[in-house]
Amino acid sequence: MKEKIAIFVSMLLVGLLFVGIGAIEFFALKIVGLQYTTLAMGLLFIVLYGVLDFGISLFMGAVPSVLVELELLEEKYRAGLDFVIDYFLALSLIGLLDAFMPSISISLYGTAIFALLTAIIHYKLNIHSDEDSKPT
What pLDDT digit, counting tens, does each position of 56-99 carry?
988 888 888 899 898 888 988 888 899 999 999 999 999 999 99
Angle at 8 between CA 6 and CA 13, to 5 degrees: 95
Alpha carbon 126 to its chain's center: 13
- The domain total for the chain is 1
Note whether residue 104 is domain-resident: yes
DSSP structure class, residue 77: G
- 133 pLDDT exceeds 60? no
Note whether residue 54 is domain-resident: yes
The 3-state DSSP class for residue 32 equals: coil
> How far is residue 117 from each of residues 32, 87, 101, 102, 111, measured CA to CA in Å?
11, 8, 23, 25, 10
Note whether residue 117 is domain-resident: yes
Cα radius of gyration rounded to whole Å, the chain: 17
Note whether residue 4 is domain-resident: no
Note whether residue 16 is domain-resident: no
Amino acid identity of residue 95, one-letter, is: G
Residue 27 pLDDT: 86
pTM metric for this prediction: 0.79
Percent of the chain with pLDDT over 90: 29
The 3-state DSSP class for residue 36 equals: strand
Note whether residue 17 is domain-resident: no
For 129, the domain range is 27-133
Note whether residue 8 is domain-resident: no
Note whether residue 11 is domain-resident: no
